[in-house]
Structure 1
Amino acid sequence: MPNISTEDNYLTVLNLFTTDTPDKQDRLITEMRKIVDAAAYEGWISSTVHAGQDSPGTANLIQWRSGEDLEKRYAGEEFKHRTLPVFREITTGIRLLQNEIVFTQTHPGLGGRVEVSPDRDDYTVIEVHRVGEADQAELIKLLGEGQDWLVNVPGYRSHSVFKGLRAMFVEGAFAVVYSQWDSKESYEAFRDLPHGQKPRPRRDNDERIDGLKIESDSNTYRVVHTRAMDQ
């Protein structure tokens, strides 16, 4: 079972795909499972496939030993002439985000470990925030340690913040938040709370985030498949 941890020095890649129908999402998952189950790339650690919930699409959270190992994969004939063309045929959007994990926080009952597995029932949210390069560090701090109050929110399980390093099909600096909740209902109650009803620390934090980010988007997911190099 993969873990998200600041103690690991892995490069974390989030491959985010959008599409326009549930059938195409199913095709995406089938193609991704084929790649994950056959993975034997040098430096590859694990891959975890997520199925979109609010909007059709998928996410693949991939851990690599290093950026050099990933670049060898991108330079390969299979990736350039089979993998990308297949995904371009099915998708309406592709983002391949390379990240450094810089922050994790869990509800006290989870013991500090962020586990990612289809054996769990997490309702997962992935947010991508584009930001000016000069503001990236402050935004990351606000998204991470600036939200220590989340441990008191009903249904909250964990959140992890990634610093964007580089990307294919995305321009400029970015940060990613990967959060886990116990249900769709608890997450939506948190997300949709009117601004005026938010506790003061959350209001201040949200206002500063809104002032820094250029644009944001998110989708919700369930983990459907995972495999690691030792499996």
Structure 2
Amino acid sequence: MPFISLEDKHLTVLNLFTTDAPEKQDTLVGEMTKIVNAATYEGWMNSTVHAGVDSLGTLNFIQWRSGEDLEKRYEGEEFKHRTLPVFGEITTSIKLLQNEVAHTLTSAALGGKVEVGTHRDDYTVLGVHSVTDDGQDEAIDALGKGQEFLAEVPGFRSHVVLKGLRARGLDGKFVVSYAQWDSKEAYDAYRDQAPEQQSAERQKAQGRISAVSTEAPYINTYTVVHSRAAGE
């Protein structure tokens, strides 16, 4: 199963799909699972499919050896003439985000290791933050070092900040946050905490992020439903 770390230097691709009906989400998961199970692309390392919880859609968390390998996949006839048309029929939006890991944080229980897979019961929270042209580094620092307090929040497991490199379906600079929690209840309790009860560190970090954001972030929650690595 994939691990997320600063040291590995993989290209991390997040394929984000939204849809408007539960049966379409089921179809998305099925189509993604077929692609993952058949994957033999040069440079492809692993894929983990997530199903939306709070909003309908899917997330495919993918690690590639390099951007060059990914572009070969995008340029292939299968991707152009089958994959995109199939997903285009059942989605309301498609974002293909290329990223590099910029920061990781875990609870003491995880000991610094961030792992993704169906063998875990993580409640996953994804945030896509569109930022100003000169605000990407500030957002990364505010979402990363600026939120070290998360390690002490009940129910928190891990938090990964990714620097956006390139994208299809999203214009401008962006930063992605990928977090794991014990449960929906634990995350909701943190999310819904009244402003007067929030720590000074949390309020400061939120202010820094807002100052460089160009729009409200896209946030959704997910559970992992399928994962496969090259060679399996």
Q: Normalised by the size of structure 2, how large is the TM-score?
A: 0.98
1:190 corresponding residue in structure 2: 190
Q: Tell me the distance in 1 between the aligned counterparts of 2:187 and 2:94.
A: 25
Letter in 2 for 1:217: Y
Q: Tell me the distance in 1 between the aligned counterparts of 2:113 and 2:40.
A: 27
Letter in 2 for 1:229: A
Kindly provide the CA deviation profile for residues 108-152 of structure 1, in whole angstroms up to 9, marking residues without a partner as x.
111111000011000000000000120100110000011111011
1:207: how far off? 1.4
1:91 corresponding residue in structure 2: 91
3-state SS of paired residue (2:41): coil
Tell whether 2:38 aligns with 1:38.
Answer: yes
2:51 corresponding residue in structure 1: 51
1:213: how far off? 0.9
Kindly provide the CA deviation profile for residues 172-210 of structure 1, in whole angstroms up to 9, marking residues without a partner as x.
000000000001011011011111211111111111211
2:224 corresponding residue in structure 1: 223
2:207 corresponding residue in structure 1: 207
Q: Tell me the distance in 2 between the aligned counterparts of 1:98 and 1:133.
A: 17
3-state SS of paired residue (1:223): strand
Q: Normalised by the size of structure 1, how large is the TM-score?
A: 0.99
Q: What are the equivalent positions in structure 2 for 1:17-36 lying under 5 Å apart? A: 17-36=17-36
Q: Tell me the distance in 2 between the aligned counterparts of 1:175 and 1:77.
A: 30
Instruction: Verify the 8 A CA contact 2:138 2:208 in the aligned structure 1.
Output: no
1:230: how far off? 2.4
Q: Which deviates the most, 203-212 or 83-92?
A: 203-212
Letter in 2 for 1:63: Q
Kindly provide the CA deviation profile for residues 31-73 of structure 1, in whole angstroms up to 9, marking residues without a partner as x.
0000000000000000000000001100000000000000000
1:150 corresponding residue in structure 2: 150
Q: Tell me the distance in 2 between the aligned counterparts of 1:230 and 1:113.
A: 23
Q: What are the equivalent positions in structure 2 for 1:110-149 lying under 5 Å apart? A: 110-149=110-149
Letter in 2 for 1:200: A
2:101 corresponding residue in structure 1: 101
When the two chains are superposed, the root-mean-square deviation of aligned CA atoms in Å is 0.6
> Gaps spanning 5+ residues in structure 1: where?
none
3-state SS of paired residue (2:188): helix
Runs (4 or more) in structure 1 with deviation over 3 Å come to none
Tell whether 2:153 aligns with 1:163.
Answer: no
Instruction: Work out the number of aligned pairs and report it.
Output: 231
Letter in 2 for 1:100: E
3-state SS of paired residue (1:133): coil
Letter in 1 for 2:4: I
1:73 corresponding residue in structure 2: 73
